[in-house]
Amino acid sequence: METGGNSLPSGADGKKRKVSYYYDPLIGNYHYGSDHSMKPLRVAMTHDLLHKYRVLNDMQVFKPTKATSDDLCQFHSDEYIRFLKRITPDNARELAGLCKIYNINTNDCPVFDGLYDYCISYTGGSLSAAARLNEGSSDIAINWSGGLHHAKCSTASGFCYVNDAVLAITELLKHRQRVLYVDIDVHHGDGVEEAFYQTDRVMTVSFHQRKIFPYNTGFINHIGSDQGKYHAVNVRLDEGITDDTYHSLFKPIISKVMEVYRPEALVLQCGADSLARDPLGSFNLTIKGHAECVNFLRSFNLPLLLLGGGGYCIRNVPRCWAYETAVAVGVELQNDLPSNEFYAYFGPHYTLHDPPIKGLENRNSTRSLEKIKTRVLDNISKLEHAPSVQFQERPPDASVDVQLLTQLRTSGLD
């Protein structure tokens, strides 16, 4: 890699950014179930690390306004949202037929207490962050509880109930002609790609592992259709990919997209299941390698929305997102973790960084990576110029938060 983690270059990209950070103090209380891989607690753990590292002092910290049902219906069907508001563990049995239709009460997407409140909380964070970027009062906005990229218009999927990424992009499109969505989750960002597959106003780029959920999506020949032809980019990778080999694709592909598509805002879904040691993925990325994606997109000096996503190693996700927050702000973090409320989770080394897994085979050959890169760059080159979009009458903006959580800067999880 040309740079590593948050070792920020000097010059134009060396300056600090105005960063807005969205956090609901109740987010860690939602619980998919004791045996479920998804743990919203990881967001609370991330926040506590940021508090103890004193990174909160370098940002504006907001409690997000919860999304309304009207907000959710900008993408999702009315019937599906009404069902999400209605379903509870107590009535799930009597609503079993509808649960099947909407893919809820499954192993992946269970019904749990506070499900709808959880959805409007994490979605509200992404909408608030996008609205703040539109307002121009922040350069970078962060919502680590968001990035639930699998949800479809009328169904839940892959631990995701409401697709906050789609809704945030829709919000950005109220003020931007073109938005670039980049997804570094180990799983294909299928819900976002599907939502914008036929439009040239959004370009989606997903780097993901082959032969895992979601199946039969994210192939290299899935390039978009109609007005959106060549506006979907899919990079399917094999197990064991390392920092250097990952960025041998990521940087030239993103650079070409930026050159040809010329987006006016960026959304980066930072799913941390692409890290080494994740139980659901088989990549071998370090936290520094993962964060280099943030660093690279930051360097283009465009409005940037950072979202969470997957990540199921409970000790790795908070370390990754805390580090990436520091990259966004432009500060360095010491490797020894400060004492924090969740310190026991971070053993046995209690450090911010782990090395890659020794001996894990990188099944991505130089030849196969070069073949992927050549084909993807060729497809991107077929975009002759950035589209010129005439703005139509647009819906009103989402609310920009006025509740600045200054107490979070000093009291952590209060």
Residues recognised as catalytic:
150
Q: How much is the CA Rg of the chain, to the nearest whole Å? A: 20
Rounded Cα distance between 370 and 376, Å, is 10
Cα 140 from chain centroid (whole Å): 13
Give the Å distances, CA to CA, from 403 to 22, 164, 399: 11, 21, 11
Task: Kindly tell me the burial class for residue 350, based on how many C-beta atoms sit within 10 Å of its own C-beta (0-12, 13-18, 19 or more).
Answer: middle
Q: Would the CA dihedral through 178, 120, 320, 63 be positive or negative?
A: positive
Task: Return the bridge partners of 390, or none.
Answer: none
Q: What is the DSSP string of 140-162?
A: EEEETT---TT--SS--BTTBSS
DSSP-assigned letter for residue 61: E
Cα 173 from chain centroid (whole Å): 18
CB 412 within 8 A of CB 48: yes
DSSP-assigned letter for residue 200: S
Instruction: Give the list of residues 6+ apart from residue 25 with CB closer than 8 angstroms, or none.
Output: 44, 63, 408, 413, 414
Q: What is the DSSP string of 295-344?
A: HHHHTT-S-EEEE------TTHHHHHHHHHHHHHHT----SBPPP-TTGG
Rounded Cα distance between 302 and 321, Å, is 20
Nearest to 291 by CA among 253, 321, 336, 249: 321
